[in-house]
Amino acid sequence: MKALLLTNEFPPNVYGGAGVHVEYLSRELSQLMDVEVRCFGEQLDESKPLTVRGSTVDSASFTDADPRIKPVLSALAHNIDFNVKPSGADVVHCHTWYSHFGGIAAKLSYGMPLVITAHSLEPLRPWKREQLGGGYDFSSWIEKTALEMADAVIAVSKETKADILNHFDVDESKIEMIYNGIDTEEYQCVDTQRCFEKYGIDADKPFVLFVGRITRQKGIVHLVNAIKNIDECCQVVLCAGAPDTPEIAKEMSDAVDVARTQRDGIIWIEEMVSKETAIELYSNAALFCCPSIYEPFGIINLEAMACETPVVASAVGGIKEVVVHGETGILVPVEQLKEAPFEPVEPEKFSNDLANAINHLMADPALRKKMASASRARAVETFSWTAIAEQTAELYRRLKK
């Protein structure tokens, strides 16, 4: 059997959870069958059982287009390129809307069963209109079309499955719930501090850590607004780059500037760091904070937990299925607006509640140590990539029959 995986992100071009997912899923699936990954970029590895072929698009001719819809036009061009060369695969499996048109074309042109993993859902990310303009209408349409014509849809959490049923016309029998995973051999606690000098982190003071993109979905600004109420005994390390838009980049910069007038010990790493550096930061952090306002799964929490770091996170989406309140961390409730853009009803209260949860754990080293051990155990026992690949392969086999 052979599987064709279509994706925007694949190493070395990974900036979000979906890219992490495809990297590890393809590796584990290739232990069970031939796998070909077609992605955006210049990657090329023709060795088997895992073949990788990048697709490049010359966007020089897009000069007259609205800059916000260029990503849509580029995605379409990549997706067409995905289908020029037959793959000989038995199933096509798409990741994020950027690859969905390619999956539709493969299903219709080559007769392959179509599988979609729902890493996130466009109806629940209305802030993307800031980034894509009218392109958001296209991304929403292509996602809806692909999900509703797919032979199977993988939801990465129970909450995501409920969202799919609520927003799309998908038969529940076609939805398979398969969690994201973590490589606990790679993501484990290390005792090195090589990056501390480079980023100005004081090794003698504990720190709260955030890792993620600067996007409304990740709620980073709510954490920055909480800093004034976080105990000054600890540093706050914001590993945050790749802003969605100039507007959110400025909002983040302004919020950090304000916070720095209120206290010291704020380190902002304005880049997406390497995996090795991220593991070092996770391992040394006193706790990890995930203030997302929308998160179908939240793989960053799992990365922190595997590195024996307790988590303070918003109680939204799939996070509630990863972080066990009172055992591996603290879940902070957030009442959200019923209509777009789904921001907190009381943003200041949410920020204060984040600060209170952080302060509670920072004041109790024994509890943090207990949660650290429980976090590692949960990551190892529940979120193995090997088991996830086996579940995915079984789904492919059922579709092939």
- Residue 237, SS3 per DSSP: strand
pLDDT, tens digit, for every residue of 347-379? Answer: 999 999 999 999 999 999 999 999 999 999 999
- pLDDT at site 341: 62
* Domain range 196-382, its CATH number among 3.40.250.10, 3.30.420.40, 3.40.50.300, 3.40.50.2000: 3.40.50.2000
- Separation of alpha carbons 151 and 184, rounded Å: 32
- Ranking 126-130, 168-172, 296-300, 343-347 by mean pLDDT, the lowest is 126-130
Evaluate whether 363 touches 3 at the Cβ level (below 8 Å).
no
- Model confidence at 340, pLDDT cuts 50, 70, 90, reads low
CB 12 within 8 A of CB 20: no
- Distance in angstroms (rounded) separating the CA atoms of residues 372 and 370: 5
Hey, is 120 helix, strand or coil? coil
Q: What is the pTM of this model?
A: 0.86
Average pLDDT, the chain: 94
Confidence tier at 272 by pLDDT (50, 70, 90): confident
pLDDT tens for residues 138-180? 999 999 999 999 999 999 999 999 999 999 999 999 999 999 9
> How would residue 130 be classed by pLDDT, with cut points 50, 70 and 90?
confident
Q: Are 322 and 310 in contact (CB under 8 A)?
A: no
pLDDT at residue 338 is higher than 80: no
Q: What percent of the chain has pLDDT above 90? A: 86
Please provide the CATH number assigned to the domain covering 2-181+384-400.
Answer: 3.40.50.2000
d(Cα 262, Cα 389) in Å, to the nearest integer?
Answer: 48
Distance CA(139)–CA(97), nearest Å, equals: 6
* H helix or E strand, kind and range, residue 94: strand 91-95
Q: What is the pLDDT of residues 5-47, one digit of tens each?
A: 999 999 999 988 899 999 999 999 999 999 999 999 999 999 9
**In the numeric block, which tokens belong to residue 26?**
């393809």
pLDDT beyond 70 at 201: yes
* Segment 68-104, tens digit of pLDDT: 888 889 999 999 999 999 999 999 999 999 999 999 9
CATH 3.40.50.2000 domain range(s) in the chain: 2-181+384-400, 196-382
In percent, how much of the chain has pLDDT > 70?
100
In this prediction, residue 61 carries a pLDDT of 77
Pair type for strands 287-290 and 311-314: parallel
Looking at the predicted structure, is the pLDDT value of residue 255 above 70? Answer: yes
The pLDDT of residue 394 = 97
Quickly count helices (H) and strands (E) in the chain: 15, 14
